[in-house]
C-alpha cells in the first residue's frame, strides 16, 4: 500500500471522532477514562513505531525498550528526586533518543533479520539491567510513588484532566508526524522499501533516512513511556518487557503501518479489546496472537486501509515543461574530460574482472562500451557509480574522487545511471519517482527542483503516463522512466547499463533519439550494450572490453575493424578466452 | 577437577543449544525464512515433557520415577506437529511477501504458544525429569553429572541421525538442493511445499528435544522464548548463516561463554554480556562473522 492523504468521504471519520469525544467527556466512567488515557499514550508510541516499521520498512523490536527507557527516566527522577514533569518529560524523550543514537552505529546498518534480532538483544539487555540493578531501578518490584503530572500550580489529576492532557500531547505527536512526513520524504521512504538497489540512483541517503526514522520512533516511544508512568504511578520492569513491544507491534499491524488514522484505530482497539473479551480470561493474549497473525495474512495494510477512499492527490505542476532545454554541461573547464579513469583493476576471488582499464569521456560524447558476457562491463559501471570499489586505479568526475565517494554522493554530484533490470518503486507514479530523484539531487548546478523533473519527463516522452504507477508499466516504458529519473538529478555523466535489452526495434530507436538529444545539450553518455545494431548508429566512439582488459578504444569504425575486437566480439578467430564474471 | 566439570557442563549446555540452532538452520535453509517462533518451540518442548510426565505418572504405580529419555519420542512428535502448524499458518500463506511479514507472523505464533502455555501451566518455572536419573558418576577420574552426559549422548544421537539423513538419503539431497537453489529445485520436480513442511517439522522437533534436555536443570517458563531464539540466532550468526556445522560450533562457543562468565560472576551478567557481544560482533561484521551469500544483483 502506498500512504496517501484522505481527501473526500471524511464524514464517517469525523462522526466517529465526534462520538468518541462525546463519550469521553460525558459518558465514560473513571475506569473508561483510564483506558482512553492509555489509548492516547499508545497512539504516541504507535505513531513513532510507524516511522521505522512502516515507512523505513524495518522490523524494530526495540520500541518497547525506548518506551521502557522513557518510563524509567521519569520514574527514577520523579520518585527518588521529586523532579517535576517539565524536566522529566523532555529528559525521557532525550534519554530514549540518546539510546537510539548510540545503538544506531552498530544496529542501523543491519538489514532485515539482523536488525530485528539486534534490536531484540538490546531490549533483553535493558530488561536484565532493570531487573538486576536494584539500587537504581528497584529491581523486579520497580519504584512506586511516581507523582501525577504537574506544571506550575496545575495538576493533571486522574480522570478527565489527565485524559485531555495525554490526548493533547497525542495531537502534538500527530502534527510532528505530519510535518516529518512531507510527500517528498514519504516518496523517499517508498523508494527505500521498494527498490533498495536504486536508492543511491535517486540521490537518497539511506543511512540518514533510517536514522531519522529510528530516532523519531525512539523519541515518541520515550514520550509514551513517560506518560505511562505518570498514569500508573509506578515504574516496573513490565514497561521494558516484550509485552509492550508486542502490544505496539499488534496495534500497528491491526491499525495500519502508515498514517494517523491507523495509529488511532490500532491503539483504541487494542486497549479496549481486553474489556470486550473479558470472558477469555488468561487466553486473551492467545487471541491477540491469533489477531496479529490473521491481520498479516488477510489484511496486511491494517484496518485503516478500509477507510481510504481517495485516489492520487497529486497536484500537477504548473510549470510548462520544455523538453531538452536543460544544459547538461559539467561544472568543469570545457575541454577537460567529464570522466577520467586510469588503471582500474578489480578482482573477484579468482576472476580478474577489470585489469588496468583506462577510460575518458568528454561532454556531449556518446561512448559505447562493448564486449562479450563477462568482459567486466557492469563491473566498470558499478565502479563509476560507487556500488563497487576498484582495487587499484584513479577515477574522477568533475572534481570528485569516485573511488572514495558513496554511491549517493556520486549520484548527487551528477553521475547518473540506469540498471540492467529497471529499478523503479512499484508504489510511486512516474512523476513521483522522477520528482523524488529531483528533490534529492543535492546541489547539482543543473537542478531546479520540480521543473527539472517535469522537463525530464517531457524529454523522455512520458508526459501521457506521468500519473501511472511504475509497477504497472511495461518493460519498454520502465527503461525510459529510468532515464527520466537519471536526468532529474541534472547529471553531467549518464551511465546506461544495457538500455536496449529486451526492447523492440522501434522502442530502441526512441531511446536512441532521446540519447542523441541529450548528448546535443552537453551530457556525456556511456552506453553499455552488446547490441551493435543499437550502438553503431548512436555511439561516436566505441570501447571494447575483453576479460577485464580494454582491447580497443577509438572512433567507431576503427574499433569495429580492429582484429582483437573481431576476435573477441564476433569470434571470427577463436582466441584463448578466459571466463570472467557475468556482465 | 572443577575445570573439567565446568567444561562438561558447558558441552552439555552447548549440545542442547546446538539442537536449537540446527533446528533454526534447517528451516532457514529450506525456506530462507527466519522463524521467530523457534524459541517458543523450545519452551513448548519443555512443557510437552512436563505434560507427558504428568500423564505417565497417572498410568504408572505411584513412586516410580520416569526417566526423561522415554519422553523423547513423544516430545519430538508433539513439537513436530507444532512445526507443521507454524509452517501451515504462519509461513505458507505469505511465503511470497517481504520477509518482514514472516517475521511478524512467526512472532504472532510465538505469542500464541507463550500465552497458551501460560494459561495452561501458569507462569511459574516447571522442571522436566532427568534423562537417566540424577547424581554423578566417576568417569576417567572426573566426577561427571549423569544428566550432562545424557544430554550430550542424546544430542549426539539426534545430530548424527540428521547428518545421516542429509548426507546419505534421497530426501537429504532434496533438502540440500532446496537450500542451495529453491527455484532450480522446483524446476527439477522437487515438491517445495513438502520439503518446507518437513523442514519446519524437523526443525521444530529439534528445538522441542532441546526443550526436554534443558528443562530439568534450568527449568522452563512460558516466557523463556525470546532469550532462546536470541541464543540460537547468535550461534547461527557466529557459525555462518546456513551452516549446520557452524551452528553447532557457535552453540558451543555461547555455552562456554555463559558457563565461564557465570562461574566467576552471575547468570544475568553472563547473559547480559552475551547480548553486548552480539551487538559488538554485528558492529564489526554486519553480515555475521562469515557473511551471508548475496543473491541481489543490479
Sequence-ordered list of residues with C-beta below 8 angstroms from that of A167, at least 6 positions apart, any chain = A36, A37, A40
Cβ atoms of A83 and A77 closer than 8 Å: yes
Residue B184 CA to residue B269 CA, distance in Å, equals 47
CB atoms within 10 A of CB A368: 25
Using alpha carbons only, what angle is made at residue A136 by residues A131 and A140, rounded to the nearest 5 degrees?
25
Tell if the CB–CB gap between B279 and A103 is shorter than 8 Å.
yes
pLDDT digits (tens, 9 = 90+) for A63-119: 999 999 999 999 999 998 988 999 999 999 999 999 999 988 877 777 778 888 889
Name every chain B residue with its beta carbon within 8 A of the beta carbon of A113. 34, 99, 103, 233
Grid coordinates in use for A16?
466517529
* Phi, psi angle pair for A524, to nearest 5°: -85, 130
Name every chain B residue with its beta carbon within 8 A of the beta carbon of A117. 229-230, 233, 278
The pLDDT, as a whole number, for residue A571 is 64
* Phi, psi angle pair for A46, to nearest 5°: -70, -40
Based on the number of CB atoms within 10 Å of its own CB, is A88 exposed (0-12), middle (13-18) or buried (19 or more)? buried
Pairs across A and B, CB distance < 8 A = 133
Q: What is the model's pTM?
A: 0.85
B282 to chain A, any CB pair closer than 8 A? The answer is yes
Cα A527 → chain centroid: 28
Cβ atoms of B131 and B67 closer than 8 Å: yes
Cβ atoms of B42 and B114 closer than 8 Å: no
Cβ atoms of B109 and A293 closer than 8 Å: yes
Grid coordinates in use for B111?
505469542
pLDDT digits (tens, 9 = 90+) for B185-233: 888 888 888 899 999 999 999 999 999 999 988 889 998 888 898 888 8
Residue A375 CA to residue A343 CA, distance in Å, equals 16
3-class secondary-structure state, position B145: strand
Cβ atoms of A9 and A309 closer than 8 Å: yes
**What residue in B sits closest to A284 (Cα-Cα)?**
B115
Tell me: pLDDT of A4 over 60. Answer: no
Residue B253 CA to residue B244 CA, distance in Å, equals 14
Residue A166 CA to residue A157 CA, distance in Å, equals 12
Cβ atoms of A553 and A360 closer than 8 Å: no
Grid coordinates in use for A231?
498514569
Cβ atoms of A339 and A493 closer than 8 Å: yes
Instruction: Compare A186 and A560 and report the one with higher pLDDT.
Output: A186
pLDDT digits (tens, 9 = 90+) for A333-376: 556 788 888 888 998 878 888 888 898 888 888 999 988 887 88
Residue B116 CA to residue A282 CA, distance in Å, equals 8
Tell if the CB–CB gap between A296 and B230 is shorter than 8 Å.
no
Average pLDDT of B79-87? 96
Cβ atoms of B31 and B23 closer than 8 Å: no
Average pLDDT of A368-394? 87
B277 to chain A, any CB pair closer than 8 A? The answer is no
Average pLDDT of A420-433? 88
**What residue in A sits closest to B291 (Cα-Cα)?**
A114
For residue B85, give the H/E element and its range.
helix B72-86
A339-570 CATH: 3.40.50.300
pLDDT digits (tens, 9 = 90+) for A218-256: 999 999 999 999 999 999 998 888 889 999 999 999 999
Q: Positive or negative CA dihedral for B83, B86, B89, B92?
A: negative
Instruction: Tell me how many domains chain B contains.
Output: 1
Name every chain A residue with its beta carbon within 8 A of the beta carbon of B275. 121-122, 124-125, 128
Tell if the CB–CB gap between B119 and A283 is shorter than 8 Å.
yes
Please name which of A169, A168, A162 lies closest in space to residue A146, comparing C-alpha atoms.
Answer: A162
The pLDDT, as a whole number, for residue A3 is 45
User: Pairing between strand A392-397 and A339-348?
Assistant: antiparallel
Residue B129 CA to residue A19 CA, distance in Å, equals 58
Average pLDDT of the residues of chain A = 85
- Provide the pLDDT confidence category of residue A315 given band limits of 50, 70 and 90: very low
Grid coordinates in use for A389?
570499489
Tell me: pLDDT of A580 over 50. Answer: no
Sequence-ordered list of residues with C-beta below 8 angstroms from that of A65, at least 6 positions apart, any chain = A99, A119, A122, A123, A126, A221, A240, A245
Cβ atoms of A201 and A485 closer than 8 Å: yes
* A390 to A344, A379, A382, A403: CA distances (angstroms): 6, 9, 9, 7
- Site of grid cell 536449537: B20
The pLDDT, as a whole number, for residue A312 is 42
- Determine, yes or no, domain membership for B80: yes
Sequence-ordered list of residues with C-beta below 8 angstroms from that of A570, at least 6 positions apart, any chain = none
Residue A104 CA to residue A215 CA, distance in Å, equals 9
Based on the number of CB atoms within 10 Å of its own CB, is B61 exposed (0-12), middle (13-18) or buried (19 or more)? exposed
Cα A80 → chain centroid: 42
Tell if the CB–CB gap between A288 and B111 is shorter than 8 Å.
yes
The pLDDT, as a whole number, for residue A1 is 43
Residue A369 CA to residue B25 CA, distance in Å, equals 43
- Bridge partner residues of A340 (DSSP): A360, A396
- Determine, yes or no, domain membership for B101: yes
Grid coordinates in use for A157?
489529576
- Determine, yes or no, domain membership for B285: no
- Provide the pLDDT confidence category of residue A330 given band limits of 50, 70 and 90: low
- Determine, yes or no, domain membership for B289: no
The pLDDT, as a whole number, for residue A6 is 45
* Phi, psi angle pair for B160, to nearest 5°: -60, -45
The pLDDT, as a whole number, for residue A321 is 55
Residue A414 CA to residue A438 CA, distance in Å, equals 11
- Provide the pLDDT confidence category of residue A316 given band limits of 50, 70 and 90: very low
State the smallest CA–CA distance between residue B111 and chain A in angstroms: 5
State the smallest CA–CA distance between residue B165 and chain A in angstroms: 29
Name every chain B residue with its beta carbon within 8 A of the beta carbon of A293. 89-90, 105, 108-109, 112
Nearest by CB: B109 against A106, A293, A378: A293
Grid coordinates in use for A151?
506544571
Tell me: pLDDT of A214 over 60. Answer: yes
Average pLDDT of the residues of chain B = 86
- Site of grid cell 485503516: A304
List B residues 212-251 in contact with A (Cβ-Cβ < 8 A). Answer: 223, 226-227, 229-230, 233, 237
- Determine, yes or no, domain membership for B213: yes
**Domain locations in chain A?**
30-196+204-241, 339-570
Grid coordinates in use for A133?
540493578
Please name which of A326, A238, A360, A258 lies closest in space to residue A50, comparing C-alpha atoms.
Answer: A258
pLDDT digits (tens, 9 = 90+) for A253-289: 999 999 899 999 999 999 988 888 877 778 888 998 9
Please name which of B216, B12, B61, B11 lies closest in space to residue B134, comparing C-alpha atoms.
Answer: B216
CB atoms within 10 A of CB A345: 17
State the smallest CA–CA distance between residue A123 and chain B in angstroms: 10
Report CA Rg, chain A: 29
Please name which of A555, A491, A202, A554 lies closest in space to residue A363, comparing C-alpha atoms.
Answer: A491
Cβ atoms of A422 and B298 closer than 8 Å: no
Q: Positive or negative CA dihedral for A561, A566, A572, A573?
A: positive
3-class secondary-structure state, position A553: strand
Grid coordinates in use for A254?
491491526
- Provide the pLDDT confidence category of residue B288 given band limits of 50, 70 and 90: low
* A188-202, B65-79, B83-97: least confident range: A188-202
Residue B15 CA to residue B235 CA, distance in Å, equals 12
Cβ atoms of A459 and A324 closer than 8 Å: yes
Tell if the CB–CB gap between B105 and A296 is shorter than 8 Å.
yes
Residue A305 CA to residue B285 CA, distance in Å, equals 39
The 8 Å CB, 24+ separation contacts for A558-563 are: A560/A532, A560/A536
- Provide the pLDDT confidence category of residue A494 given band limits of 50, 70 and 90: very high
State the smallest CA–CA distance between residue B58 and chain A in angstroms: 27
Using alpha carbons only, what angle is made at residue B95 by residues B92 and B96, rounded to the nearest 5 degrees?
145
Instruction: Compare A29 and A107 and report the one with higher pLDDT.
Output: A29
- Determine, yes or no, domain membership for B100: yes
DSSP secondary structure code for residue B126 in this structure: B
**What residue in B sits closest to A193 (Cα-Cα)?**
B98
State the smallest CA–CA distance between residue B295 and chain A in angstroms: 12
Residue A109 CA to residue A116 CA, distance in Å, equals 12
3-class secondary-structure state, position A161: helix
Average pLDDT of B70-86? 95
**What residue in B sits closest to A198 (Cα-Cα)?**
B298
Instruction: Compare A235 and A314 and report the one with higher pLDDT.
Output: A235
* Phi, psi angle pair for A522, to nearest 5°: 105, -5
Cβ atoms of A338 and A474 closer than 8 Å: no
* B207 to A43, A128, B80: CA distances (angstroms): 37, 24, 9
Amino acid at each position: 500500500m502506498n500512504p496517501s492523504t484522505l481527501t473526500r468521504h471524511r464524514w464517517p471519520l469525523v462522526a466517529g471522532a465526534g462520538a468518541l469525544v462525546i463519550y469521553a467527556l460525558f459518558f465514560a466512567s473513571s475506569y473508561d477514562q483510564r483506558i482512553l488515557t492509555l489509548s492516547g499514550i499508545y497512539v504516541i508510541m504507535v505513531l513513532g513505531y510507524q516511522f521505522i516499521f512502516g515507512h523505513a520498512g524495518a522490523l524494530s523490536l526495540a520500541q518497547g525498550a525506548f518506551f521502557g527507557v522513557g518510563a524509567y527516566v521519569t520514574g527514577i527522577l520523579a520518585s527518588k528526586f521529586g523532579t517535576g514533569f517539565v524536566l522529566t518529560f523532555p529528559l525521557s524523550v532525550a534519554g530514549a533518543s540518546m539510546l537510539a543514537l548510540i545503538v544506531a552505529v552498530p544496529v542501523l546498518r543491519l538489514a532485515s533479520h539482523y536488525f530485528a534480532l539486534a534490536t531484540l538483544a538490546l531490549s533483553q539487555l535493558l530488561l536484565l539491567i532493570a531487573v538486576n540493578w536494584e539500587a537504581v531501578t528497584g529491581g523486579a518490584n520497580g519504584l512506586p510513588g511516581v507523582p501525577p503530572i504537574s506544571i506550575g500550580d496545575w495538576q493533571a489529576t486522574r480522570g478527565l484532566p489527565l485524559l485531555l492532557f495525554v490526548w493533547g500531547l497525542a495531537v502534538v505527536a500527530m502534527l510532528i508526524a505530519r510535518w516529518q512526513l512531507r510527500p517528498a520524504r514519504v516518496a523517499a521512504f517508498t523508494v527505500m522499501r521498494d527498490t533498495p538497489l536504486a536508492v543511491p540512483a535517486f540521490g537518497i541517503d539511506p543511512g540518514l533516512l533510517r536514522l531519522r526514522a529510528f530516532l523519531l520512533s525512539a523519541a515518541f516511544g520515550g514520550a509514551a513511556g513517560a506518560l505511562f508512568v505518570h498514569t500508573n504511578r509506578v515504574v516496573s520492569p513490565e514497561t521494558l518487557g516484550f509485552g509492550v513491544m508486542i502490544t505496539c507491534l499488534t496495534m500497528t499491524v491491526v491499525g495500519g503501518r502508515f498514517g494517523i488514522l491507523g495509529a488511532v484505530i490500532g491503539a483504541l482497539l487494542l486497549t479496549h479489546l481486553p474489556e470486550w473479551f473479558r470472558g477469555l480470561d488468561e487466553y486473551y493474549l492467545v487471541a491477540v496472537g491469533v489477531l496479529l497473525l490473521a491481520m498479516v495474512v488477510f489484511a496486511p495494510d491494517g484496518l485503516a486501509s478500509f477507510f481510504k477512499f481517495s485516489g492520487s492527490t497529486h497536484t500537477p505542476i504548473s510549470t510548462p515543461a520544455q523538453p531538452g532545454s536543460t544544459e547538461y554541461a559539467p561544472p568543469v573547464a570545457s575541454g577537460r574530460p567529464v570522466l577520467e579513469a586510469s588503471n582500474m583493476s578489480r578482482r573477484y576471488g579468482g576472476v580478474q574482472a577489470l585489469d588496468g582499464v583506462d577510460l575518458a569521456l568528454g561532454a556531449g560524447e556518446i561512448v559505447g562500451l562493448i564486449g562479450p558476457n563477462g568482459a567486466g562491463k557492469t563491473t566498470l559501471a558499478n565502479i563509476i557509480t560507487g556500488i563497487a570499489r576498484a582495487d587499484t586505479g584513479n577515477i574522477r568526475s568533475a572534481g570528485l574522487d569516485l573511488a572514495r565517494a558513496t554511491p549517493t554522493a556520486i549520484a548527487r554530484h551528477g553521475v547518473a545511471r540506469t540498471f540492467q533490470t529497471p529499478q523503479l518503486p512499484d508504489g510511486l507514479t512516474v512523476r513521483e519517482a522522477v520528482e523524488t530523484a529531483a528533490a534529492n539531487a543535492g546541489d547539482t548546478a543543473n537542478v531546479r527542483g520540480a521543473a527539472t523533473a517535469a522537463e525530464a519527463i517531457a524529454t523522455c516522452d512520458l508526459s501521457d503516463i506521468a500519473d501511472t504507477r511504475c509497477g504497472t508499466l511495461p518493460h519498454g516504458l520502465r527503461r525510459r522512466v529510468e532515464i527520466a529519473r537519471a536526468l532529474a538529478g541534472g547529471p553531467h555523466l549518464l551511465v546506461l547499463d544495457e538500455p536496449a535489452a529486451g526492447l523492440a526495434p522501434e522502442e530502441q530507436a526512441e531511446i536512441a533519439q532521446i540519447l542523441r538529444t541529450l548528448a546535443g545539450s552537453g551530457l556525456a553518455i556511456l552506453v553499455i550494450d552488446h547490441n551493435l545494431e543499437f550502438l553503431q548508429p548512436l555511439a561516436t566512439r566505441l570501447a571494447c572490453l575483453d576479460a577485464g582488459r580494454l582491447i580497443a578504444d577509438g572512433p567507431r569504425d576503427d574499433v569495429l575493424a580492429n582484429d582483437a575486437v573481431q576476435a573477441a566480439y564476433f569470434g571470427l578467430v577463436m582466441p584463448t578466452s578466459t571466463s570472467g564474471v557475468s556482465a | 577437577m572443577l575445570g573439567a566439570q565446568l567444561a562438561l557442563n558447558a558441552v552439555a549446555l552447548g549440545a542442547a543449544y546446538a539442537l536449537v540452532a540446527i533446528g533454526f538452520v534447517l528451516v532457514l535453509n529450506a525456506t530462507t525464512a527466519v522463524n521467530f517462533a523457534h524459541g517458543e518451540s523450545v519452551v513448548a518442548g519443555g512443557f510437552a515433557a512436563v505434560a507427558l510426565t504428568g500423564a505417565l505418572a497417572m498410568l504408572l504405580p505411584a513412586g516410580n520415577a520416569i526417566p526423561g529419555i522415554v519422553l523423547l519420542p513423544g516430545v519430538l512428535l508433539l513439537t513436530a506437529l507444532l512445526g507443521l502448524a507454524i509452517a501451515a499458518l504462519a509461513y505458507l500463506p505469505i511465503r511470497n511477501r517481504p520477509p518482514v511479514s514472516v517475521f511478524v507472523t512467526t512472532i504472532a505464533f510465538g505469542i500464541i504458544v507463550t500465552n497458551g502455555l501460560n494459561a495452561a501451566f501458569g507462569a511459574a518455572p516447571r522442571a522436566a525429569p532427568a534423562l537417566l536419573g540424577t547424581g554423578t558418576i566417576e568417569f576417567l577420574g572426573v566426577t561427571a553429572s549423569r544428566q550432562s552426559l545424557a544430554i550430550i549422548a542424546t544430542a549426539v544421537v539426534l545430530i548424527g541421525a540428521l547428518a545421516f539423513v542429509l548426507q546419505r538419503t534421497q530426501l537429504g539431497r532434496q533438502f540440500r538442493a532446496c537450500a542451495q537453489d529453491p527455484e532450480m529445485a522446483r524446476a527439477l520436480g522437487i515438491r517445495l511445499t513438502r520439503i518446507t513442511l518437513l523442514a519446519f517439522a524437523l526443525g521444530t522437533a529439534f528445538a522441542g528435544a532441546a526443550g526436554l534436555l534443558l528443562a530439568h536443570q534450568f527449568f522452563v517458563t512460558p516466557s523463556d522464548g525470546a532469550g532462546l531464539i536470541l541464543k540460537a540466532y547468535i550461534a547461527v550468526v557466529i557459525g555462518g548463516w546456513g551452516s549446520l556445522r557452524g551452528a553447532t560450533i557457535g552453540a558451543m562457543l555461547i555455552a562456554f561463554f555463559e558457563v565461564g562468565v557465570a562461574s566467576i560472576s552471575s547468570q544475568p551478567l553472563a547473559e547480559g554480556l552475551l547480548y553486548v557481544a552480539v551487538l559488538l560482533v554485528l558492529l564489526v561484521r554486519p553480515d555475521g562473522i562469515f557473511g551471508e551469500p548475496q543473491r541481489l544483483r543490479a
